[in-house]
Amino acid sequence: IKTGPLDYITGYIGYSIVLFSEFLQDPGTSASTLWGSETFVGIYNFIGSHFGISNFVYTYHMQWRYIGVLSLGNVYTAYRYWLHDFGAVGMFFMAASYGMFYGAFYAKARSYRNPKHRLINYPLLMWSYFAYGVFMIPITDCLLATELVVTTPFVLLTMYVLGRYIENKQGVRVESS
């Protein structure tokens, strides 16, 4: 089967649902027996590598799947991680938790009363950094895998410092709180 760039992009976006369905029919095996091993792989690897716990350091690759001769890939949605790690009830709990987290964070950021002398709404800027995770749920779990990691405070601090620098360069008078 000959495919082009558009086939690849649409397949990458759409095959995750098909792959999740295939996972439900045949879950396969896991690289680790730790609780939450796929959801919290980044946390486990950090703890394992920094505190010498060898069974916390592991890599895993999702099973590559085919339907006939058509290669579907190994992108399964965030629901696959949650279902594997926590079962059906845990998957629903994780989805509800994400909804509450992002909804509350967004409501707080939107209701923030930006002082008139501020150019940047920092809570909304922080929410926009984390919002990537919402849009990636159909593909993977980004919030716990790439956003809530050790470097996140550094990224947020850098955003704040650069924002203040921009405000100062724009001549915005910023009073200390």
Closest CA to 78 of 129, 24, 38, 25: 38
pLDDT(161) > 60 = yes
What pLDDT does residue 150 have?
79
Tell me the Ramachandran region of residue 77: left when phi exceeds 0, alpha when psi lies from -120 to 50, beta otherwise: left
Share of the chain above pLDDT 90, in %: 23
What pLDDT does residue 1 have?
61
**Residue keyed to tokens 């890599």:** 59
How many Å apart are CA 85 and CA 81, to the nearest integer?
6
pLDDT(12) > 80 = no
The pTM (predicted TM-score) of the whole model is 0.79
Long-range contacts (CB closer than 8 Å, 24 or more residues apart) made by 148-155:
149/42, 149/43, 149/46, 150/46, 155/129
